[in-house]
Structure 1
Amino acid sequence: MRENSARWHIREATFNDVGALVQLEERCFDYSRMGRRSFRRLLAGNTGHVFVCMSEDGALAGYYLLLTRKNSRRWRLYSIATAPESRGTGLGRVLLEHAIHTAQQQGAISLGLEVKVDNTAAISLYEKLHFAVIDLLPEYYDDGTDGYRMRVSFDTSTNQENR
Protein backbone atom coordinates (compact mmCIF):
# COMPACT_ATOMS: atom_id res chain seq x y z
CA MET A 1 0.00 0.00 0.00
CA ARG A 2 1.01 3.62 -0.43
CA GLU A 3 2.83 5.56 2.23
CA ASN A 4 -0.17 7.76 3.17
CA SER A 5 -2.51 4.77 3.50
CA ALA A 6 -1.65 4.68 7.22
CA ARG A 7 -4.03 7.64 7.61
CA TRP A 8 -6.93 5.37 6.75
CA HIS A 9 -8.36 2.07 7.90
CA ILE A 10 -10.16 -0.12 5.34
CA ARG A 11 -12.52 -2.80 6.60
CA GLU A 12 -15.63 -4.69 5.53
CA ALA A 13 -18.78 -2.63 5.98
CA THR A 14 -21.40 -3.54 8.57
CA PHE A 15 -25.06 -2.63 8.95
CA ASN A 16 -23.91 0.16 11.31
CA ASP A 17 -22.23 1.86 8.31
CA VAL A 18 -25.37 2.09 6.16
CA GLY A 19 -26.37 5.62 7.22
CA ALA A 20 -22.90 7.01 6.53
CA LEU A 21 -22.74 5.16 3.19
CA VAL A 22 -26.04 6.70 2.07
CA GLN A 23 -24.82 10.17 3.10
CA LEU A 24 -21.57 9.67 1.19
CA GLU A 25 -23.52 8.59 -1.92
CA GLU A 26 -25.54 11.81 -1.71
CA ARG A 27 -22.37 13.89 -1.40
CA CYS A 28 -20.52 12.17 -4.23
CA PHE A 29 -23.07 11.38 -6.92
CA ASP A 30 -25.83 13.31 -8.62
CA TYR A 31 -26.98 10.21 -10.52
CA SER A 32 -27.67 6.52 -9.83
CA ARG A 33 -27.34 6.81 -6.06
CA MET A 34 -27.67 3.75 -3.89
CA GLY A 35 -30.07 3.97 -0.99
CA ARG A 36 -30.38 2.44 2.44
CA ARG A 37 -32.36 -0.59 1.21
CA SER A 38 -29.77 -1.41 -1.49
CA PHE A 39 -26.85 -1.24 0.93
CA ARG A 40 -28.68 -3.38 3.49
CA ARG A 41 -29.55 -5.99 0.84
CA LEU A 42 -25.93 -6.13 -0.36
CA LEU A 43 -24.59 -6.48 3.17
CA ALA A 44 -27.07 -9.29 3.92
CA GLY A 45 -26.35 -11.20 0.71
CA ASN A 46 -23.29 -12.99 -0.57
CA THR A 47 -22.76 -11.32 -3.96
CA GLY A 48 -21.82 -7.86 -2.69
CA HIS A 49 -18.56 -6.98 -0.99
CA VAL A 50 -18.70 -3.52 0.58
CA PHE A 51 -15.57 -2.05 2.13
CA VAL A 52 -15.41 1.26 3.97
CA CYS A 53 -12.41 3.45 4.58
CA MET A 54 -12.36 5.33 7.85
CA SER A 55 -10.15 8.36 8.45
CA GLU A 56 -8.05 8.81 11.59
CA ASP A 57 -10.91 10.75 13.20
CA GLY A 58 -13.41 7.93 12.55
CA ALA A 59 -15.25 9.60 9.67
CA LEU A 60 -16.16 7.71 6.51
CA ALA A 61 -13.58 8.84 3.93
CA GLY A 62 -14.61 6.47 1.13
CA TYR A 63 -15.94 3.10 0.15
CA TYR A 64 -16.06 0.60 -2.68
CA LEU A 65 -18.49 -2.10 -3.70
CA LEU A 66 -17.53 -5.25 -5.58
CA LEU A 67 -20.18 -7.49 -7.11
CA THR A 68 -19.82 -11.17 -7.92
CA ARG A 69 -22.01 -13.77 -9.55
CA LYS A 70 -22.30 -17.42 -8.68
CA ASN A 71 -19.97 -19.57 -10.80
CA SER A 72 -18.21 -16.53 -12.30
CA ARG A 73 -14.65 -15.48 -11.68
CA ARG A 74 -15.17 -12.10 -13.35
CA TRP A 75 -15.83 -9.51 -10.69
CA ARG A 76 -17.27 -6.02 -11.06
CA LEU A 77 -16.37 -2.80 -9.29
CA TYR A 78 -19.89 -1.42 -9.05
CA SER A 79 -19.07 1.73 -7.11
CA ILE A 80 -16.14 3.56 -5.58
CA ALA A 81 -16.38 6.92 -3.84
CA THR A 82 -14.17 9.25 -1.83
CA ALA A 83 -15.52 12.04 0.32
CA PRO A 84 -14.96 15.46 -1.27
CA GLU A 85 -12.55 16.46 1.51
CA SER A 86 -10.46 13.32 0.86
CA ARG A 87 -10.02 13.90 -2.88
CA GLY A 88 -6.51 14.56 -4.10
CA THR A 89 -4.95 12.67 -1.19
CA GLY A 90 -4.34 9.34 -2.94
CA LEU A 91 -7.30 7.67 -1.24
CA GLY A 92 -8.96 6.76 -4.54
CA ARG A 93 -5.88 4.82 -5.57
CA VAL A 94 -5.62 3.16 -2.16
CA LEU A 95 -9.26 2.04 -2.40
CA LEU A 96 -8.83 0.79 -5.97
CA GLU A 97 -5.67 -1.13 -5.11
CA HIS A 98 -7.48 -2.68 -2.13
CA ALA A 99 -10.40 -3.67 -4.38
CA ILE A 100 -8.06 -5.27 -6.91
CA HIS A 101 -6.24 -7.15 -4.17
CA THR A 102 -9.54 -8.33 -2.63
CA ALA A 103 -10.80 -9.65 -5.97
CA GLN A 104 -7.51 -11.40 -6.69
CA GLN A 105 -7.40 -13.00 -3.22
CA GLN A 106 -10.90 -14.37 -3.79
CA GLY A 107 -9.89 -16.00 -7.10
CA ALA A 108 -11.19 -13.47 -9.62
CA ILE A 109 -9.62 -13.58 -13.08
CA SER A 110 -10.64 -10.02 -13.93
CA LEU A 111 -12.24 -6.91 -12.54
CA GLY A 112 -14.55 -4.79 -14.68
CA LEU A 113 -16.23 -1.44 -14.18
CA GLU A 114 -18.21 1.25 -15.93
CA VAL A 115 -17.26 4.93 -15.89
CA LYS A 116 -18.64 8.11 -17.45
CA VAL A 117 -16.62 9.05 -20.53
CA ASP A 118 -16.13 12.58 -19.15
CA ASN A 119 -14.71 11.39 -15.80
CA THR A 120 -11.12 11.90 -16.93
CA ALA A 121 -9.62 11.73 -13.43
CA ALA A 122 -11.13 8.29 -12.76
CA ILE A 123 -10.24 7.01 -16.23
CA SER A 124 -6.63 8.12 -15.76
CA LEU A 125 -6.43 6.31 -12.41
CA TYR A 126 -7.94 3.14 -13.87
CA GLU A 127 -5.48 3.19 -16.76
CA LYS A 128 -2.54 3.61 -14.34
CA LEU A 129 -3.68 0.36 -12.71
CA HIS A 130 -3.88 -1.43 -16.09
CA PHE A 131 -7.60 -1.18 -16.80
CA ALA A 132 -8.38 -0.88 -20.51
CA VAL A 133 -11.49 0.34 -22.30
CA ILE A 134 -13.25 -2.66 -23.82
CA ASP A 135 -16.57 -1.12 -24.84
CA LEU A 136 -18.38 2.17 -25.37
CA LEU A 137 -21.81 2.27 -23.70
CA PRO A 138 -23.99 4.90 -25.48
CA GLU A 139 -26.29 6.87 -23.12
CA TYR A 140 -25.45 4.43 -20.31
CA TYR A 141 -26.06 6.80 -17.40
CA ASP A 142 -29.38 8.24 -16.18
CA ASP A 143 -28.45 11.69 -17.47
CA GLY A 144 -27.76 10.35 -20.99
CA THR A 145 -23.97 10.43 -20.68
CA ASP A 146 -22.01 7.72 -22.47
CA GLY A 147 -19.94 5.29 -20.47
CA TYR A 148 -16.90 3.14 -20.96
CA ARG A 149 -16.68 -0.45 -19.84
CA MET A 150 -13.16 -1.08 -18.59
CA ARG A 151 -11.47 -4.24 -17.39
CA VAL A 152 -8.21 -5.45 -15.92
CA SER A 153 -7.27 -9.12 -16.20
CA PHE A 154 -5.25 -10.85 -13.53
CA ASP A 155 -4.37 -14.05 -15.36
CA THR A 156 -2.36 -13.48 -18.54
CA SER A 157 -3.74 -16.67 -20.11
CA THR A 158 -7.24 -15.09 -20.06
CA ASN A 159 -6.35 -11.71 -21.58
CA GLN A 160 -7.73 -12.60 -25.03
CA GLU A 161 -10.87 -14.15 -23.55
CA ASN A 162 -11.64 -11.00 -21.52
CA ARG A 163 -11.34 -8.49 -24.36
Structure 2
Amino acid sequence: MTVVCRIAQPADLPALQALYAELIPEEAPCLAEMAAALARMEASGLSAVFVAEDQSGVIGTFQLVIYDNLVRAPRRKAMIDSVIVRHDRRGVGIGRQLMAHAVVVAAERGCCRVGVSTAFRRQVAQSFYDTLGFGRFGYHYLYPVSSAPEH
Protein backbone atom coordinates (compact mmCIF):
# COMPACT_ATOMS: atom_id res chain seq x y z
CA MET A 1 0.00 0.00 0.00
CA THR A 2 1.48 3.30 -1.11
CA VAL A 3 0.22 6.38 0.70
CA VAL A 4 1.18 9.84 -0.51
CA CYS A 5 0.89 12.99 1.62
CA ARG A 6 0.39 16.24 -0.30
CA ILE A 7 -1.22 19.66 -0.05
CA ALA A 8 -4.97 19.51 -0.63
CA GLN A 9 -6.37 20.80 -3.89
CA PRO A 10 -9.89 22.09 -4.65
CA ALA A 11 -10.76 18.71 -6.22
CA ASP A 12 -10.18 17.10 -2.79
CA LEU A 13 -12.92 19.13 -1.09
CA PRO A 14 -15.76 16.56 -1.37
CA ALA A 15 -13.50 13.90 0.21
CA LEU A 16 -12.45 16.38 2.91
CA GLN A 17 -16.08 17.24 3.59
CA ALA A 18 -16.79 13.52 4.18
CA LEU A 19 -13.77 13.16 6.48
CA TYR A 20 -14.75 16.21 8.52
CA ALA A 21 -18.24 14.72 8.94
CA GLU A 22 -16.54 11.77 10.66
CA LEU A 23 -14.49 14.10 12.85
CA ILE A 24 -17.26 16.51 13.91
CA PRO A 25 -20.66 15.24 12.72
CA GLU A 26 -22.53 18.33 13.95
CA GLU A 27 -20.59 20.59 11.57
CA ALA A 28 -21.48 20.73 7.89
CA PRO A 29 -19.22 23.11 5.97
CA CYS A 30 -20.42 23.83 2.44
CA LEU A 31 -18.07 23.21 -0.46
CA ALA A 32 -18.07 26.83 -1.63
CA GLU A 33 -17.02 28.09 1.81
CA MET A 34 -14.40 25.35 2.05
CA ALA A 35 -13.02 26.35 -1.37
CA ALA A 36 -12.79 30.00 -0.29
CA ALA A 37 -10.99 29.03 2.94
CA LEU A 38 -8.57 26.78 1.04
CA ALA A 39 -7.77 29.67 -1.32
CA ARG A 40 -7.12 32.01 1.62
CA MET A 41 -4.80 29.44 3.19
CA GLU A 42 -2.87 29.06 -0.03
CA ALA A 43 -2.56 32.84 -0.38
CA SER A 44 -1.28 33.24 3.19
CA GLY A 45 1.45 30.63 2.87
CA LEU A 46 1.18 30.02 6.64
CA SER A 47 -1.63 27.50 6.73
CA ALA A 48 -2.32 24.47 4.58
CA VAL A 49 -4.49 21.39 4.52
CA PHE A 50 -2.70 18.17 3.67
CA VAL A 51 -4.22 14.91 2.52
CA ALA A 52 -3.08 11.32 2.56
CA GLU A 53 -4.18 9.40 -0.49
CA ASP A 54 -3.77 5.95 -1.92
CA GLN A 55 -5.22 4.20 -4.95
CA SER A 56 -8.71 4.55 -3.47
CA GLY A 57 -8.45 8.34 -3.04
CA VAL A 58 -8.19 10.64 -0.03
CA ILE A 59 -8.03 8.61 3.20
CA GLY A 60 -6.81 11.14 5.76
CA THR A 61 -6.08 14.78 6.40
CA PHE A 62 -4.66 17.39 8.76
CA GLN A 63 -4.26 21.15 8.75
CA LEU A 64 -0.92 22.75 9.59
CA VAL A 65 -0.89 26.32 10.87
CA ILE A 66 2.49 28.04 11.13
CA TYR A 67 3.01 31.25 13.05
CA ASP A 68 5.86 33.47 14.11
CA ASN A 69 6.58 33.56 17.81
CA LEU A 70 8.28 36.58 19.41
CA VAL A 71 9.37 34.65 22.50
CA ARG A 72 11.34 32.23 20.35
CA ALA A 73 12.19 34.77 17.63
CA PRO A 74 13.14 34.35 14.91
CA ARG A 75 11.80 30.79 15.06
CA ARG A 76 8.29 29.76 14.31
CA LYS A 77 5.82 27.37 15.89
CA ALA A 78 3.21 25.17 14.26
CA MET A 79 -0.12 23.70 15.27
CA ILE A 80 -1.59 20.57 13.76
CA ASP A 81 -5.38 20.64 13.60
CA SER A 82 -8.31 18.68 12.21
CA VAL A 83 -6.53 15.31 12.03
CA ILE A 84 -8.71 12.50 10.74
CA VAL A 85 -8.20 9.15 9.01
CA ARG A 86 -11.14 7.59 7.20
CA HIS A 87 -12.93 5.14 9.52
CA ASP A 88 -12.22 2.09 7.36
CA ARG A 89 -8.48 2.84 7.16
CA ARG A 90 -7.67 3.43 10.83
CA GLY A 91 -5.14 1.33 12.68
CA VAL A 92 -2.80 0.66 9.75
CA GLY A 93 -0.30 3.53 10.17
CA ILE A 94 -1.84 6.28 8.06
CA GLY A 95 -2.19 8.61 11.04
CA ARG A 96 1.49 8.05 11.84
CA GLN A 97 2.40 8.95 8.27
CA LEU A 98 0.28 12.10 8.43
CA MET A 99 1.85 13.23 11.70
CA ALA A 100 5.38 12.46 10.50
CA HIS A 101 4.69 14.51 7.38
CA ALA A 102 3.38 17.40 9.48
CA VAL A 103 6.53 17.42 11.61
CA VAL A 104 8.80 17.32 8.54
CA VAL A 105 6.94 20.22 6.87
CA ALA A 106 7.06 22.24 10.10
CA ALA A 107 10.80 21.66 10.40
CA GLU A 108 11.35 22.61 6.75
CA ARG A 109 9.49 25.88 7.41
CA GLY A 110 11.68 26.78 10.37
CA CYS A 111 9.43 25.75 13.24
CA CYS A 112 11.01 24.94 16.59
CA ARG A 113 7.90 23.29 18.06
CA VAL A 114 4.80 21.55 16.82
CA GLY A 115 1.64 21.26 18.88
CA VAL A 116 -1.54 19.25 18.51
CA SER A 117 -4.66 19.20 20.62
CA THR A 118 -7.65 16.95 20.93
CA ALA A 119 -10.84 16.83 22.95
CA PHE A 120 -10.85 15.30 26.44
CA ARG A 121 -13.31 12.65 25.27
CA ARG A 122 -11.02 11.45 22.46
CA GLN A 123 -8.88 9.15 24.54
CA VAL A 124 -7.79 7.06 21.55
CA ALA A 125 -6.35 10.19 19.93
CA GLN A 126 -4.62 11.16 23.18
CA SER A 127 -2.97 7.74 23.41
CA PHE A 128 -1.97 8.00 19.75
CA TYR A 129 -0.21 11.35 20.28
CA ASP A 130 1.48 9.95 23.40
CA THR A 131 2.93 7.07 21.36
CA LEU A 132 4.29 9.55 18.81
CA GLY A 133 6.27 11.38 21.49
CA PHE A 134 4.09 14.46 21.89
CA GLY A 135 4.27 15.56 25.52
CA ARG A 136 1.18 16.64 27.36
CA PHE A 137 1.46 20.32 28.19
CA GLY A 138 -1.06 22.61 29.81
CA TYR A 139 -4.63 23.04 28.69
CA HIS A 140 -6.14 24.19 25.44
CA TYR A 141 -9.03 26.63 25.95
CA LEU A 142 -11.58 27.71 23.38
CA TYR A 143 -13.77 30.79 23.42
CA PRO A 144 -16.56 31.22 20.85
CA VAL A 145 -16.31 34.42 18.85
CA SER A 146 -19.12 35.56 16.62
CA SER A 147 -18.14 35.97 12.99
CA ALA A 148 -20.98 38.43 12.42
CA PRO A 149 -19.81 42.06 12.33
CA GLU A 150 -21.24 44.34 14.98
CA HIS A 151 -22.97 47.54 13.88
Distance 2:10 2:78 in 1: 23
Tell me what 2:14 maps to.
Answer: 19
Q: Contact (CA 8 Å) 1:48, 1:65: kept in 2 or not? A: yes
Percentage of identical aligned residues: 24
Greater share of strand: 1
Measure how far apart 1:34 and its partner are: 5.5
Asked whether 1:45 is paired with 2:44, we answer: yes
Tell me what 1:55 maps to.
Answer: 54
Q: CA-atom RMSD, angstroms?
A: 2.4
Measure how far apart 1:91 and its partner are: 0.8
Distance 1:32 1:110 in 2: 29
Other structure's SS at 1:121 match: helix
Structure 1, residues 16-62: CA drift from partner, whole Å, max 9, x if none? 222321222113322566651433432343121221111223x1100
Q: Provide structure 2 residue ranges, at least 5 long, that are not aligned to the other structure.
A: 70-74, 145-151
TM-score if structure 1 supplies the norm length? 0.71
Other structure's SS at 2:116 match: strand
Greater shift after overlay, 11-20 or 115-124? 11-20
Aligned residue identity for 1:13: A
CA distance change for structure 1 residues 77 and 111 in 2, over 3 Å: closer, same or farther?
same
> Deviation above 6 Å: which 4+ runs of structure 1?
none
CA distance change for structure 1 residues 33 and 114 in 2, over 3 Å: closer, same or farther?
farther
Q: Provide structure 1 residue ranges, at least 5 long, that are not aligned to the other structure.
A: 1-5, 143-163
Other structure's SS at 1:136 match: coil
Q: How many residues align?
A: 135
Structure 1, residues 118-145: CA drift from partner, whole Å, max 9, x if none? 212111121122211211246x498xxx
1:124 is matched with which residue: 124, 127, 151? 127
CA distance change for structure 1 residues 46 and 76 in 2, over 3 Å: closer, same or farther?
same
Q: Contact (CA 8 Å) 1:14, 1:43: kept in 2 or not? A: no
Q: Contact (CA 8 Å) 1:48, 1:67: kept in 2 or not? A: yes
Measure how far apart 1:110 and its partner are: 0.2
Distance 1:34 1:136 in 2: 27
